[in-house]
Structure 1
Amino acid sequence: MDKALVINEIDEILDTYCEDCFLKKQLSKDNGKTAAHNFCITRCTIGDHLKFLGEEMNKLGK
């Protein structure tokens, strides 16, 4: 897998799942952007997959 494929997959996931995410919008509104971002990183399955893809991209860069 090369960097371009990983970047395309990340973009597709963000556009498909994160762009109109109700939880992210509601958490931002209720608790602020930091709380919403924290939720996405630590408890969202999509966030876990994005984190995995980021780690894969880091491996490719070395």
Structure 2
Amino acid sequence: MKNFNRKELFTNVETLMSQYCNGCLLHQHFKEEGGRRFAHRFCISQCTVGEKLQEYGKKLI
């Protein structure tokens, strides 16, 4: 991935979240079935969008 400045990284994160995360049916389903923590853990550890968000987060440090 090319080098981004902070503003570009935040823009990319916001774009990803608005496209894929807001209204995600998997997150909603897991939240109902296993609870909020279970759904959040899925998003962080198994969702491809969550993995991409983590990459962006590591570049912000």
Q: Same fold (TM over 0.5)?
A: yes
1:19 aligns with 2:15: no
- Long gaps (5+) in structure 1: none
What is the deviation of 1:20? 1.4
1:34 aligns with 2:37: yes
Distance in 2 between the 1:26 and 1:7 partners?
A: 27
Distance in 1 between the 2:12 and 2:55 partners?
A: 12
Structure whose residues are more often helix by fraction: 1
RCO greater where, 1 or 2, for CA within 8 Å and sep 6 or more? Answer: 1
Count of matched residue positions in the alignment of Structure 1 and Structure 2: 58
Distance in 2 between the 1:35 and 1:54 partners?
A: 21
- Long gaps (5+) in structure 2: none
- What is the TM-score of this pair, normalised by structure 1? 0.90
Deviations, residues 23-54 of structure 1 (Å, cap 9, x unaligned): 00000111111000000000000000000000
- What is the TM-score of this pair, normalised by structure 2? 0.92
SS in 2 for 1:20: coil
Percentage of identical aligned residues: 26
What's 1:4 paired with?
Answer: 7
